[in-house]
Structure 1
Amino acid sequence: MASAEKRGSTWRARYNKPDGSVGSESGFPTKKTALGWGREQEAAIRAGRWVDPDLRATTFGEFTKSFMTSRRKRGRTVGTRWEKLDSHILPRWQDTALGSITWYEVDAWQQSLTIADVSRGHCVSLMSTIMTAAVDAQHITVNPLFGRRRTRDTAGDAAVPKAPKVSRDPRPEDALLLAERLGPARGIHVLTTAFTGLRWGEGLGLHRDRALLERRQPWGDAEFVCPVLRVVEEYAEYQERDPDGTKNGYLLQLEPTKNDGSTRDIDVPRFLARLLRHHLDDWPHERPFSTTSGKPWRRGNWSRDFRPACDGRDERAKRQGVSYRAEWEPILPGLDMRALRALHDTLQAQIGVKEPLAFEAAGHRRPGIKRHYQRPTPDMRAERLAGLEEVFWKAMANVGLRTMWGRVDLRKPDR
């Protein structure tokens, strides 16, 4: 039963908690207000909607550590969350009580962040996820961020388009020139990304035993057969953390694919299958797209060769201890492997790949009910492969190439 007692010039409310202990709250001006507050707590307890005021006062920083410890995700996801927490969220909200956080303040804060608007959205989304967990843990009764629409900055130069990372959209010709320049071991990775849409980590994680497997599917009165790349895992590079967020250096390790749509077989065009067969014959390591020592590429190490090939480089004269290095004209400054993956999806739209197959090949989970009803057919697959084959040969003619790397005449009969 709630009660009130005099404490100096104010009154203190006392009430029975669910565990049988006595809770209290001080600072009420009258006995009536103290009793009323205590009775409200006991009514909320009986209704199952009571939140302990002590838990409501838990700081966002304290609860975040508990959340990050208990909600384990893929390593890269955990690393990305900690980066946003350390760089943007915790500096502002570390010492704020969960019960004191309001949407008005969060919205004003996110507008003040000097980062890309999409990153602001990710920060608010992560905060909302943590606040929802606090509701589930009965630290607060409601998440004030849930379902709210952010205010976007439209003043000043906010509406001015940002300078693109790449000066123009990549073309198949750019992928061919880049692959030719990098040579067969690295160039085959570039071509495979541009014409199959492999993600960076998926390419590194591809095993030779899952390269150029066969898809067999009934097709009319015959059977459709084509080579595929089977994607079941990927390499992720991220900063390892202790449960409390302490940094422990960077890891590069295999993980399952990011979702069920990413685990897939990707149909491979005939020209690319031929090049991949030659590469697998020559390559001694179990991962086809690895370093010359068979280890997975670190992004920084890959960039040492990839960036000059895209952006160009100056000539370097031969001198003692240093070999001669020819000048490279730029192919497409700013181009990266993600843009090459996007090129594949653009090509799929260009050649009219049907939605069920386009989503499958890209490793995207198709939204809506249609994903349960529509499936790729052999006709769709054959059209896609024929379209990519035509794009490749047209690009080869445009850049004046007949062979890749001077090693393989692609017009020889397939073996």
Structure 2
Amino acid sequence: MAYAEKVYKVRDGRTTKQFTWRSRYKLPDRTWGSEPGFPTKKLAEEWGDEQERLIKAGAWIDPALRATTFGEFVTKFMASRKKRGRTVGTRWDRLENHILPRWEHAHLGTITWFDVDSWQQTMSVEDVTRGHCVSLMSTIMTAAVDAGFITVNPLFARRRTRDTSGDGAAVRPPKIRRDGGARPEDAVLLAERLGPARGIHVLTTAFSGLRWGEGLGLHRDNALLTRRQPWGAGQFVCPVLRVVEEYAEYQERDEDGSKKGYVIQLEPTKNDGSTRDVDVPPFLARLLGHHLADWPHDRPFSTDNGKVWRRGNWSRTFRPACDGRDERPKRQGVAHRVAWEPILEGLDMRALRALHDTMQSEIGVKEPLAFEAAGHRRPGIKRHYQKPTPAMRAERLDGLEELFSKAMANVGLRTLWGRVDLVKPPTELIS
């Protein structure tokens, strides 16, 4: 049973007659714990009795653990949660740039939803980033509960307050300032402008929906494999791209979060839904077949020397093709470069992947196949009951083929690149 004992105050090295009370109670290992600072004996005994009651109920939290700071627990959490390198880097970026400056020295037991919700409204970032930061904090606080540092996560299942006044209510302009976003015609024009070696990457993203890292990680051994499924009295056969890995570019960190420099390396796919075979429409299979026959490297969507594209290097080629560029006159040591009119300012590879999903909706691709092709894990019980059928697959391929043919006609093209040689980039990109 808990009891209380006097603790006399010391002044100038001498014990005085003033005192407070210290609570003494039995810990789970049967040793005695203590908590000082109570003004009366009764309060000290009641506090100790409550600790022993919680210990018997299995709900007791060691006060020393409860006093652990958020920053201290973050180090423990990040060291124990082994995620993909890109995910780890993103978490550390959010922690260092947004979360830890405010919460590093806060004790876990003192963090409340009111304080977190008030803080996130003051963040000078987009609302989606605020949500990601609060979600990461909640994940860490749940881990603290599981580790026995606190009894409850005050952030769990709480709805954030969104700023609906001033700048928070302002409509932010989209990157692509056109109603409806990108069109198949944009993908065709961009592919033609970039030339075969890069244009095939653009078309594959737009008409198969591969993520940026998945496209870079595609190996020629996994390109244009064959899907065979029973269909009626015969078989459904089509070429596929097998997605089993992807390249990720991120800043590598030590377990304590120290920066080690940027790396780009192969990783497993994002989740179980991302590992998949993507059906390829006939026009894209023909173009990829020519490309694979001529391309000398293992990764079909690599640089001219077979290395992985860095995002910055790709942007230097991709952005002028989308946004346009001025003419560069010929001078000593510099070749002439023709001007390019903009195709669609703000277009990026993610927008091309989104175009693929938009086209799937336009041609009525059924949900089981639409989720599979996009690499998304379909939510709900229907994921287990509804499966893509050969008829669904054939309908999707016919629809994508028709959209491509219409896009080619709309921009006045009969062939792409006007040649079969798919290795050399166009002259404008060499100059």
Taking structure 1 as the reference length, the TM-score comes to: 0.97
- Cα distance in 2 between the residues matched to 1:216 and 1:191: 24
Matched, 1:120 2:112: no
1:293 is displaced (CA, Å) by 0.9
- Cα distance in 1 between the residues matched to 2:217 and 2:166: 45
| Map of 1:151 onto structure 2 | 161
| Map of 1:361 onto structure 2 | 373
| Map of 2:224 onto structure 1 | 212
The letter of the residue matching 2:164 is T
Equivalence map 1:233-272=2 (5 Å): 233-272=245-284
Equivalence map 1:364-403=2 (5 Å): 364-403=376-415
1:22 is displaced (CA, Å) by 2.3
- Cα distance in 2 between the residues matched to 1:21 and 1:166: 66
Once structures 1 and 2 are overlaid, which stretch shifts more, 238-247 or 315-324? 315-324
| Map of 1:226 onto structure 2 | 238
The letter of the residue matching 1:15 is Y
Matched, 1:161 2:171: yes
| Map of 1:326 onto structure 2 | 338
| Map of 2:56 onto structure 1 | 46
The letter of the residue matching 2:66 is R
| Map of 2:114 onto structure 1 | 104
CA deviations 1:22-53 (Å, max 9, x no partner) are 22111111101101101111111111111000
| Map of 2:428 onto structure 1 | none
- Cα distance in 2 between the residues matched to 1:190 and 1:343: 11
- Cα distance in 1 between the residues matched to 2:381 and 2:207: 28
RMSD: 1.0
| Map of 1:132 onto structure 2 | 142
1:14 is displaced (CA, Å) by 1.2
CA deviations 1:274-295 (Å, max 9, x no partner) are 0000000110000000011111
Which residue of 46, 58, 64 corresponds with 2:74? Answer: 64
SS in 2 for 1:15: strand
Once structures 1 and 2 are overlaid, which stretch shifts more, 334-343 or 146-155? 146-155
The letter of the residue matching 1:325 is R
The letter of the residue matching 1:131 is M
Equivalence map 1:1-40=2 (5 Å): 1-8=1-8, 9-40=19-50
Structure 2: any 5+ residue segments left out of the alignment? 9-18, 422-431
CA deviations 1:291-326 (Å, max 9, x no partner) are 111111100000010000001111111112212111
The letter of the residue matching 2:391 is D
- Cα distance in 1 between the residues matched to 2:141 and 2:288: 49
- Cα distance in 1 between the residues matched to 2:388 and 2:214: 22
| Map of 1:412 onto structure 2 | none
Structure 1: any 5+ residue segments left out of the alignment? 410-415
| Map of 2:427 onto structure 1 | none
Aligned residues: 409
The letter of the residue matching 1:328 is W
| Map of 1:276 onto structure 2 | 288
The letter of the residue matching 1:6 is K
| Map of 2:14 onto structure 1 | none
| Map of 2:12 onto structure 1 | none
The letter of the residue matching 1:222 is G
The letter of the residue matching 1:129 is T
SS in 1 for 2:156: coil
| Map of 1:413 onto structure 2 | none
Which residue of 203, 219, 225 corresponds with 1:191? Answer: 203
- Cα distance in 1 between the residues matched to 2:33 and 2:98: 36
- Cα distance in 1 between the residues matched to 2:358 and 2:410: 19
| Map of 1:94 onto structure 2 | 104
1:160 is displaced (CA, Å) by 2.2
SS in 2 for 1:403: coil
- Cα distance in 2 between the residues matched to 1:6 and 1:57: 24
1:19 is displaced (CA, Å) by 2.4
- Cα distance in 2 between the residues matched to 1:364 and 1:197: 11
| Map of 2:194 onto structure 1 | 182
1:408 is displaced (CA, Å) by 4.3
| Map of 2:302 onto structure 1 | 290
SS in 1 for 2:169: coil
| Map of 2:322 onto structure 1 | 310
SS in 1 for 2:256: coil
| Map of 2:425 onto structure 1 | none
The letter of the residue matching 1:73 is K
